[in-house]
Amino acid sequence: MTAAERVAAGAGPAAAIARRLVILVASVFVASVVVFAFMAVLPGDPAQVALGVNATPELVEQTRQQFGLDRPLVTQYLDWMGGLLTGDFGTSYVTKEPIGPQLVDRLGVTLWLVGAGMLVAVLIAVPLGIVAAVRHRKPSGVGVSAAAQLGVAVPAFLAAIILVQVFSVQLGWLPSGGWTPPAYDLGAWLKGLILPAVSLGLVQGAVLTRYVRSAVLDVQREDFLRTARAKGLRPYPALVRHGLRNAAVPVVTVLGVQLATLLVGAVVIERVFVLPGLGSMLLDSVAARDLLSVQSIVLVLVVGVLLVNFLVDVLYTVLDPRLRRS
Amino acid sequence: MSTRRSALSALVSAAVLAAPLALAGCTAGSTAMVAGGPSTLAVGFTAEPQNFDFTTTDGAAIPQALLYNVYETLVKIDSDGEITEGLAESWDVSDDRTVYDFHLRDNATFSNGEPFTASDVKFSIEQVKQDWTISLKSGMDVVDRVEVVGEHHARVVLSRPSNSWLRSMTTRIGAMFTPDGVADLANDPVGTGPYDVESRRRGDSVVLTRNPEYSRPDDPRPEPDYGTVVLKYYADATALNNALLSGGIDVISGVTAPDSVPQFEADNRFRVLQGTTNGEVVLAYNNRRAPLDDVRVRKALTYAIDRKALLQAAWGGRGKLIGSMVPPTDPWFEDLSREYPYDPERARSLLREAGHESLRLNLRIANLPYAVSSAQVIASHLKKVGVTVDIEPLDFPAVWLQQVFTDGDYDMSIVQHVEPQDITTFGDPEFYWGYDSPRVQRLLSEADTAPPREYISDMREVARTLSDDAAANWLFLFPNIVVAKNEVRGLQANQVSESFDLTGLRRQGSS
């Protein structure tokens, strides 16, 4: 049952949001235990990885103590959680740096990527989806639907490889990878963001196009739109003035789900384009068995996904006043 | 009314979508970057240093970036494997070969402004013995004491003669530190080298800039040609290649996808240099465990694998067949690659002799491209002599280190051993080879204390014994393939030291 449904069932919106918050906190707690437990059973000893081949068993043991890995698991978990509650992610024993600032820095890159990818997806999906719906019996509408169907089947990394081959290696218009912070050089930042965002957004845009199309199709069959057309409004103005808002509810739901998909997709895209985001930090940390960092990154991702779902639920009530009033 | 409302809701949706962008804007610009230009060189690497402290963190990535470039050593190793001068202009060795007198440059300065003196030599060597944790520190065990004879004269006294000690002083354990520069080794390295770490962006790059303290007016050493060197890290081999093709970098420090080399060779914008490394790609046999504790079985497997075909299939024929744990740049190199010619018939008869009509062995390999492609060739070759191979790729380094290296739970494994002179690992019966040969152990310890000429012949004997015992199967020596834009000169074909040495690089056309 979503918050929207609960609101519709009669509870006040504040109570629904409060309940939702409790669930959010409980989910985060469960996630933290699961993540920690998973890290504890992951094969591979962080001390051994840091010391490499030829390390004596005594040295490995000594390093394990230094890392605090010889303490009971419960103590390690409570230590980690205690730190998190005070906003302290701890210090990585691999990079020897505090994890918190690293996370924020990397999260920034990933959010830019996901945000830009989402923007590309929306820019593709909304116009194309509307065209596909309004002209669904005409060749152009069918053509858009078919193209979207095809786009869904292309994995983001394949799109990325093709785009790099064409626009970086052959034409030399855009960099094949790398990241320039926007504060340092806005132009270079934008150029570097285009290909990753398009790779990520193309596929999501194709998925979203199909949802926009079906949402608009549904709305078009509604009585109020027929009335609008009967008043003499042409198809597109009628849709824009009366239909889009109603079509937005299911589309926003999908957007929320897609945001989670985008976060996962970003891990791969960051690898292809060598972007220093959360995804590449996660892969590097796993390889180095930097358990503390891995735990924290995964937890941040989980919280991010839960938060998005939470916000989507809240957004329903904003988009659809009927859900608020009843 | 309804128009206004939909405008409002559009605004809200836009704000929700834009929120992360705004948040990111506050954080993503925190690292300083350096502008490109003719005096900037960008070099692409695959392995990124997790921190800058090679005294406690193992791995090739940190010395590759910092050694010789930021940290200097008393002696260096050149691309032919010869020991040459570094921070020591010259050195004398006593007749009993236990006392080394190093005469230091009198104009070297650390990047924090401290002059480099003999007391820094004492400090650095004692640090290795006391504070370092990586296993390579054992190279310093033989040092009895360090004496400061004069400001620029340091004396190192060994507890016994050691041929390997001076050679190990060319590696990271020979790096010179200043007592004032070790407070934050992980983030702020202080050395005497031509470059200083300017900034870093994790997951992306490390920026080195010219150390203003290097090359004083009275210093004969030239200033580096490139004022700024950006070390860019690409975990993905294709991304690294694309970066050079699209002009994002100037040099690929080492190509890890041999299939991509021809496209660079065919392109007149680039030069390709191919040389040797210290990286032996080894098919390890578990000498401790049946049936591989039987030398006949190990020999049979070695005869059964066509290494030439393997190198062709697995690594595009790039690399060198070696036949023992010795790269050609070691002074005791001898070509043993023809000791076990491909002979499946002989392999089958050896296996029969050992009492095995058929065998089933696991092959627990590092999940890295060279190992995966080699493993497939090996499995197909061994199948022809009745040996079934179960290939199990393990997450490298973590899982491989645990299961194969530490627990010794494997029949066969493939991994590249990159450390210089790692032939000595065969002298340690506890090492994961499980190879316990008193003869090799005796030869190795004798060799280290022997006069130089006997040193070479003893080491040769070790290499030959390993080959005779089929202690392992040396598949090939990993090639060093450097690709650079035409104008970048001074690159070395052979990767002999632990460093990607930037000091000799210059731009064509500049003096």
Question: Would the CB atoms of B5 and A50 count as touching at under 8 Å?
Answer: no
Which among A59, A161, A319 has the least Cβ separation from residue B135?
A59
- Average pLDDT (A184-193) is 88
Contact B21 A115 (CB under 8 A): yes
**CB atoms A63 and B202 under 8 Å:** no
Indicate the DSSP class of residue B271. E
B245/A111 CB distance under 8 A: no
The sheet carrying B195-201 orders its strands as: B195-201, B205-210, B228-233, B40-45, B251-252, B472-485, B270-285, B412-417, B359-366, B387-394
pLDDT band at A17 (very low <50, low <70, confident <90, very high): confident
Q: What's the whole-number mean pLDDT along residues B150-168?
A: 95
Query: What are the pLDDT digits (tens) for B466-489?
Result: 999 999 999 999 999 999 999 999
pLDDT in tens, B43-53: 999 889 989 99
All residues of chain B having their beta carbon less than 8 Å from the beta carbon of residue A168 are 242, 245-246
Report which of A290, A289, A286, A268 is spatially closest to residue A277, judged by C-alpha positions: A268
What is the structure's pLDDT at A144? 82
- pTM: predicted TM-score of the whole model, two decimal places: 0.83
Give the span between the Cα atoms of B34 and B36, in whole angstroms: 7
Q: Mean pLDDT for chain A?
A: 82
Mutate to test the interface with A, among B40, B135, B282 (most CBs of A within 10 A): B135
Position B510 confidence tier, pLDDT thresholds 50, 70, 90? low
Q: Do A272 and B398 touch (CB under 8 A)?
A: no
| Chain A residues inside the 8 Å CB shell of B401 | 44-45, 48-49, 52-53
Tokens encoding B263: 């496209």
- Inform me whether the pLDDT recorded for B203 exceeds 60: yes
Q: Does B45 touch chain A (CB under 8 A)?
A: no
What's the gap in Å between the CA of B262 and the closest CA on chain A?
16
When pLDDT is averaged across residues B200-205 and rounded to a whole number, the result is 88
Whether residue B280 is predicted with pLDDT greater than 80 in this model: the reply is: yes
Query: Which residue do the tokens 């944790």 mark?
Result: B133
The pLDDT score that the predictor gives to residue B222 is: 72
Q: Indicate yes or no: CB of A283 within 8 angstroms of CB of B236.
A: no
Please choose, from the candidates B395, B393, B368, the residue with its C-alpha nearest in 3D space to the C-alpha of residue B379: B393
Encoding tokens for residue A39? 């890290």
Contact B50 A290 (CB under 8 A): yes
pLDDT at site B24: 39
Per-residue model confidence (pLDDT) at position A322: 66
pLDDT digits (tens, 9 = 90+) for B393-402: 998 888 998 8
From CA A82, how far away is CA A105, in angstroms rounded? 22
The shortest C-alpha distance from A139 to chain B (Å) reads 31
Rounded mean pLDDT, B21-41: 50
**Which of A41, A51, A262 would best serve as a mutation to test chain B binding (most B beta carbons within 10 A)?**
A51
pLDDT band for B220, please (50, 70, 90 cuts): low
For residue B246, give the nearest of A94, A176, A283 by CB distance: A176
| B295-304 vs B369-383: helix crossing angle, rounded to 10 | 100
Q: Tell me the shortest Cα–Cα distance from B349 to chain A, in angstroms.
A: 36
Q: Report residue A176's pLDDT band, with 50, 70 and 90 as the boundaries.
A: confident
Tens-digit pLDDT profile for residues B370-413: 999 999 999 999 999 999 999 999 988 889 988 999 899 999 99
Give A73-85 pLDDT, tens digit per residue.
889 899 888 888 8
Cross-chain CB nearest to B28 (options A46, A178, A181): A181
Span A112-167, pLDDT tens digits: 999 999 999 999 988 888 888 878 788 887 888 888 888 888 888 888 889 988 99
The CA distance from A288 to the nearest CA of chain B, in Å, is 7
Q: In chain A, what residues touch B40 (CB-CB under 8 Å)?
A: none
Asked if pLDDT for residue B22 goes beyond 60, the answer is: no
Contacts of B402 in chain A (CB under 8 A): 43-45, 48
Q: Write down the pLDDT at residue B4.
A: 41
CB contact under 8 A, A94 and B59: no
Is the pLDDT assigned to residue A54 strictly greater than 70? no
Which residue out of A62, A92, A111 would a mutagenesis test of the B interface target, given it has the greatest number of B Cβ atoms within 10 Å?
A111
Per-residue pLDDT at A93:
81
Query: What is the distance between the alpha carbons of residues B250 and B202, in angstroms, rounded to a whole number?
Result: 20
Confidence of residue B26 (pLDDT cuts 50, 70, 90): very low
Which residue in A54, A95, A272 is closest to B239 by CB distance? A272
Q: Is this prediction's ipTM beyond 0.90?
A: no
Residue B61 falls in which region: left (phi positive, over 0), alpha (psi -120 to 50) or beta? alpha
Tell me which chain A residues have a C-beta less than 8 angstroms from the C-beta of B419.
Answer: 53-54
List CB contacts of A296: < 8 A, sequence separation 6 or more. Answer: A84, A89, A90, A99, A103
Task: Please give the share of chain B, as a percent, with pLDDT higher than 70.
Answer: 91
B399: nearest CA partner in chain A: A44
As a whole-number percent, the residues of chain B with pLDDT over 90 amount to 73
| CB-based contact B50 A281, cutoff 8 Å | no
Kindly determine whether residue A115 and residue B16, on different chains, have CB atoms separated by under 8 Å: no
Judge whether residue A4 has pLDDT over 60: no
Q: What is the dihedral of CA B398, B400, B403, B404, to 10 degrees?
A: -140
Rounded to the nearest 10 degrees, what angle do helices A99-134 and A291-319 cross at? 40
Whether residues A45 and B13 touch (CB distance < 8 A) is answered with no
Q: What is the pLDDT of residue B212?
A: 85
Query: A49: which chain B residues are within 8 Å (Cβ-Cβ)?
Result: 397-398, 401
CB of B358 within 8 Å of a chain A CB? The answer is: no
Chain A with chain B: Cβ pairs closer than 8 A: 219
Record the tokens describing residue B11, joined without a space.
Answer: 């605004």
Token pair recorded at residue B458: 């003893």
What is the mean predicted confidence (pLDDT) over A51-76?
83
Query: In this complex, do A283 and B235 lie within 8 Å of one another by their Cβ atoms?
Result: yes
Start-to-end CA distance of chain A, whole Å, equals 17
pLDDT one-digit tens code per residue, A90-110: 888 888 889 999 899 899 999
pLDDT digits 0-9 by tens, A215-226: 888 877 777 777
Q: Across the interface, do B203 and A277 touch by the CB < 8 Å criterion?
A: yes
pLDDT-derived band of residue A10, with 50, 70 and 90 as boundaries? very low
Contact B402/A at CB under 8 A:
yes
The number of helix segments (H) and strand segments (E) in chain B equals 13, 18
Asked whether the beta carbons of residue B203 and residue A111 sit closer than 8 angstroms, the reply is: no
Contacts of A319 in chain B (CB under 8 A): 9, 12-13
Q: Which residues of chain B neighbour A45 with C-beta distances below 8 Å?
A: 398, 401-402, 406
**A282 pLDDT higher than 70:** yes
Nearest chain A residue (CA) to B203: A276
Minimal Cβ distance to B248: which of A105, A119, A178: A178
pLDDT at position B53? 94
Would an 8 Å CB–CB cutoff place B238 in contact with chain A?
yes
B16 — contact with chain A (CB < 8 Å)? yes
Q: Is A139 exposed, middle or buried (0-12, 13-18, 19+ CB in 10 A)?
A: exposed
Q: Do A172 and B247 touch (CB under 8 A)?
A: yes
Q: What is the per-residue pLDDT for B23?
A: 40
- By C-alpha distance, the chain B residue nearest A109 is B28
pLDDT surpassing 70 at residue A295? yes
Higher-pLDDT residue of B501 and B38 is B501
Residue B6 has pLDDT above 60, yes or no: no
Inter-chain residue contact B202 with A59, CB threshold 8 Å: no
Tell me what pLDDT residue B27 has. 36
Mean pLDDT of the residues in chain B: 89
Distance from CA of A165 to the nearest CA of B (A): 8
pLDDT at A155: 84
Cβ contact (<8 Å) for B29 and A109?
no
CB atoms within 10 A of CB B503: 18
Contact: A172, B51; criterion CB under 8 Å: no
From A107, A176, A252, residue closest to B242, measured CB to CB: A176
